[in-house]
Amino acid sequence: MLSYLLAVLAAFGNATSSVLQRKANREVPRNQNLSWRLIWSLLHQPVWFGGILAICIGFLLQATALGFGQLATVEPILVLELPLTLILASRIFGQGMRWREWGSAVVMTVSLGALLFLLSPSAGRNGHVHCYGWVFGISVNLALVGALVLVGRRKSARGSDSAYRAALLGIAAGSTFGLTAALMKGMTRTFSQGIVTLFTSWEIYAMVAAGLLGMFLIQSALNAGGLIAAQPGLTLADPVISVLWGVLAFHENVRGGWYIVPEVAAAAIMAVAVIALARSPLLADAAEGT
């Protein structure tokens, strides 16, 4: 139960970070997209540091949640970041949520609860993955991220292509955060062996590197097209990649058989609700500014 609470708090931290980082990115020219000049410009935006602090707190809460629970349990809960982002954006950007947003948020929350009940994840290898499993999994994960970034770089930063580019970079960022979550879970084994073992293991440094890459990609996604374009891919890719890591690499147990049909249905309903929320005029207005 503690892992559920920590995951919800982590989602709140991530939502706070998304809104504050988007507020900072509105002041940065789009021609700095996918460039280190973007980070340099953001360093001159005080609100950006609030976003970084919020996501760091979110990461710590997420890591603690993963220490108590499974990837297939903790990571889907993080989709609550989206309705929480809407609520915070409505306050910061001075607009109220409509019945459409509240209705979609309720549907998403109910379908998430149903999905977790149907999956009923249970412990697998307690953080242990063989070396070849890490090499293969990380290689495939990074290849996916690289392909998304490559396609995104070919898109113009203008007009409708801007939103498409932001969507691709949002998926890339979410996929990278899914890898980060898997590395966090791997750290639970080394942490149980002591603090010295933790800081001499490769997982913690790989996690930091993946987290920094994910942060860079989400800055580029928010700069390219804003929350309305970047958020769906970011919100959905993270739990999907994380659950795949949990089931395939950590051998976490989820219900199969006839449960697969309602599980897929619950996941589909949740995805539709996420897309509906991400298309909210509130996020569109937040992205464009006033």
List pLDDT tens digits, range 159-171. 456 778 888 899 9
Across 10-24, 165-179, 226-240, which has the greatest mean pLDDT?
165-179
Residue 126 is predicted with a pLDDT of 53
pLDDT of 172 > 90? The answer is yes
List pLDDT tens digits, range 114-138. 999 998 887 765 557 888 999 999 9
Overall average pLDDT of the 47-61 stretch = 88
Structure confidence at residue 214 as a pLDDT band (50, 70, 90): very high
Residue 34 is predicted with a pLDDT of 60
Structure confidence at residue 141 as a pLDDT band (50, 70, 90): very high
Residue 144 is predicted with a pLDDT of 96
Give the integer Cα–Cα distance in Å for 220 and 21.
Answer: 11
Overall average pLDDT of the 54-83 stretch = 88
Give the integer Cα–Cα distance in Å for 183 and 97.
Answer: 36
Residue 104 is predicted with a pLDDT of 86
Structure confidence at residue 277 as a pLDDT band (50, 70, 90): confident
Across 120-129, 198-207, 226-235, which has the greatest mean pLDDT?
198-207
% of the chain beyond a pLDDT of 70: 86
Are the beta carbons of 102 and 277 closer than 8 angstroms?
no
Structure confidence at residue 35 as a pLDDT band (50, 70, 90): low
Structure tokens at 51: 């976003």
pLDDT of 6 > 90? The answer is yes
Are the beta carbons of 119 and 254 closer than 8 angstroms?
yes
pLDDT of 290 > 70? The answer is no
Give the integer Cα–Cα distance in Å for 12 and 119.
Answer: 24
Show me where the domains of the chain are located.
2-288
pLDDT of 4 > 70? The answer is yes
Least confident window among 39-48, 215-224, 231-240: 39-48
pLDDT of 28 > 70? The answer is no
